[in-house]
Chain A
């Protein structure tokens, strides 16, 4: 099970990476490589050239800029897990990371890579969706930002163009009235979720406002459950669970039938709703 032959180039800069992408029809960016190399080994992917962005300076930083937490494309799960900035300003991410695969995968895997790859069963795309993140994308004409609600386009498809790369994730800073919750069901610890849910809300009096419920592993991408969001804002948890019937339309897979996914989606919602309603986080 060895990869098909490919060429390999190290990008010196984002501009260089974009230039290489433009120069090749069948190029893939490699960051952490924890999904990509498995696909290469199995010959499920056989690009002409791999463009390695790991040596590009400036992409491995976590910083606070303009009221956003900026997570560079090369920030790895292990690094984010240790980062006080992440735990302070993006506690949802801190809660989700332990669910991502296993320690050795988290050593190399990047948050940005997960978002760019857009696996429908992965945690990070859903976290971005729940947080209302902005995705910074670089192309030949420079950088642009895409709101997460406009980012996912289909199965493994995103707003990132063929000659573009993701350079950073920008997350609104956590605040005193902000609530976050995360949960997932997986067959075993570290497996891709059968159903998962990342959620954010703003505490408003005794209730919740601005609820964002981002489910994963229930569709082609992470998806928001907007009917349930409205019901939660109205304080109706069981109504929110009932609304999932209209919000979600999962296909069954070998690990969970549609019925199971819907059952677990409801169970997660009850758990997450309780967490969101807890005292300040």
Chain B
């Protein structure tokens, strides 16, 4: 695939499954996930990389899917909120969000959960300020963040406790 084309065949892994699709070069990953694969858990809030609602994991790193072209994901492994939910990898974090009412409208939540997920394995336990810093690229317009910080902190403490 070297020719400069408007459309490209891409093959990648999404939530553990191989996916092959033909996409326009201009299709960003968020639209690819939502429109082509029906994975509507990845939300679009701004399409200019500010709000964080579209955050997914690409090869394990938190990534703005609106600032990543689908065609660039050839050969990569993408994990969305649907995948991370099915795997149960952060079920404890999701339960903490629920118990703490750390979401209201829920629109930011998939991006917030994905963003927070990479904190859970941090070697050093982040404090509240560090949690706030880490999620600072994800807007929540409903909660005022306090409850989200609580939910992440609770999960971190429980994991640290369990790992002891």
Contact = CB atoms under 8 A, between A and B. Distances in A.
A–B touch (CB < 8 A): the answer is: yes
B55 interface: yes
A41 B48 contact: yes
Given A105-B137, A107-B61, A9 B67 contact: no
A40 B26 contact: yes
Interface string A1-14: 11111111110100
Interface stretch (A48-56, A214-222, A252-260): A48-56
B68 A2 contact: no
Contacts of B68: 33, 37, 108
Contacts of A8: 4-6, 8, 25, 69, 71
A265 interface: no
A104 B136 CA distance: 10
A212 to B, nearest CB: 29
A4 to B, nearest CB: 7
A189 B72 contact: no
Output the residue of A33, A188, A190 with the most chain B CB within 10 A: A33
A78 B4 contact: no
A8 B22 CA distance: 13
A188 B24 CA distance: 36
Contact of A6 (B25, B63, B136): B25
A146 interface: no
B115 interface: yes
B136 A42 contact: no
A133 interface: no
A101 B5 contact: no
A103 B62 contact: yes
B134 interface: yes
Contacts of A30: 69, 72
Contact of B25 (A20, A50, A78, A105): A50
A108 B66 CA distance: 12
A10 B26 contact: no
A5 B69 contact: no
Contacts, number: 105
B52 interface: yes
A38 interface: yes
B1 interface: yes
Nearest to A42: B48
Contacts of B133: 189
B49 interface: yes
A34 interface: yes
B49 A5 contact: no
A263 interface: no
Contact of A107 (B5, B8, B62): B62
Output the residue of B4, B6, B71, B137 with the most chain A CB within 10 A: B4
B71 to A, nearest CB: 5
Interface string B24-51: 1110100100000000000000011100
Interface string A103-138: 111011000000000000000000000000000000
A102 interface: yes
Interface in B2-16: 2-6, 8
A103 B64 contact: no
The 7 nearest A-B residue pairs measured at CB: A102-B137, A8-B25, A9-B4, A107-B61, A38-B48, A3-B26, A7-B4
Interface of A: 1-10, 12, 20, 24, 30, 33-34, 37-38, 40-42, 49-50, 52, 54, 78, 101-105, 107-108, 188-190
12 contacts: A3-B26, A5-B24, A7-B5, A9-B5, A30-B69, A34-B64, A37-B28, A38-B67, A49-B4, A50-B69, A104-B63, A108-B64
Interface of B: 1-6, 8, 24-26, 28, 31, 47-49, 52, 55, 58, 61-64, 66-69, 71-72, 115, 118, 133-134, 136-138
Given A3-B28, A33-B72, A108-B67, 12 more contacts: A2-B31, A9-B4, A20-B4, A24-B4, A38-B48, A38-B49, A41-B47, A41-B48, A103-B62, A103-B115, A105-B64, A107-B61
